[in-house]
Amino acid sequence: SAVISQKPSRDICQRGTSLTIQCQVDSQVTMMFWYRQQPGQSLTLIATANQGSEATYESGFVIDKFPISRPNLTFSTLTVSNMSPEDSSIYLCSVERGDTQYFGPGTRLTVL
């Protein structure tokens, strides 16, 4: 398995502001993923973050809105920029270990 922590665990933000979410893993991993889970919905992949290269974004997600950093093999950040109430969701990072993906505890974001 993998031990993954996220900060903050939750936050309430005003529209138009930005929030950076951190994801820390207990050991080095090649691939890290960022997901969004809107209230009562499934998990939607935002982007894949590999160390040393630009993140790869899924359809409907753009770098200007969700910039991602991956400075090393145990850490990544996701920024939610210029937030609106529609960005209220749980944001989860996950890592791949072997063939399995493990999820962090998530960051619950509410935008007013």
What residues line the site for another protein (CB under 8 A)? 1, 31, 33, 41-45, 48, 58, 92, 96, 99-106
Pick between residue 17 and residue 48 the one whose CB is nearest to another protein.
48
Q: Any idea which residue has 């962090």 for tokens?
A: 104
The CB-of-72 to another protein minimum distance in angstroms stands at 19
| Gap between the Cα atoms of 47 and 87, Å rounded | 16
Pick between residue 42 and residue 53 the one whose CB is nearest to another protein.
42
The CB-of-92 to another protein minimum distance in angstroms stands at 6
Q: Please, what sign has the CA dihedral across residues 15, 105, 59, 64?
A: positive
Residue 27 corresponds to which tokens in the numbers above?
């050991």
The CB-of-66 to another protein minimum distance in angstroms stands at 16
| Gap between the Cα atoms of 14 and 108, Å rounded | 14
